Amino acid sequence: MKKDSRWNLVDLLEREEKEKYFTQHIEQLTRKKREKLRELLDETPEVTLTSSWKEIRRIIKEDPRYTKFSSSERVKRATFKFQNTN
């Protein structure tokens, strides 16, 4: 968050406000990562409604949008399953 221009104003905020802004910041980062993963899946022609996570993972595992999404393979798989049902 130090890269954010608002960082210098942090000392003026109450604890609750700091927590609120931090939570918003994390949610924004998570949303961006999900969007990037969705873009990757949309851009990968081998991804179909019947594709398994194992098949897709093998194809996208080197892409930065995949590697930066989460360090947890379980989270990646669960997100794929959720995105694939919507």
Residues 6+ apart with CB under 8 A from 80: 37, 41, 53, 56
Tell which residue, 83, 70, 74, has the closest CA to residue 29: 70
For 40-69, the pLDDT digits (tens) are: 888 989 888 888 888 888 998 888 888 888
For 6-50, the pLDDT digits (tens) are: 777 777 778 888 888 889 988 998 888 888 888 888 898 988 888
Mean pLDDT of the chain: 81
Q: For the chain, which domains are there? A: 12-85 (1.10.10.440)
The C-alpha atoms of residue 6 and residue 40 are separated, in whole angstroms, by 31
Residue 28 has a pLDDT of 92
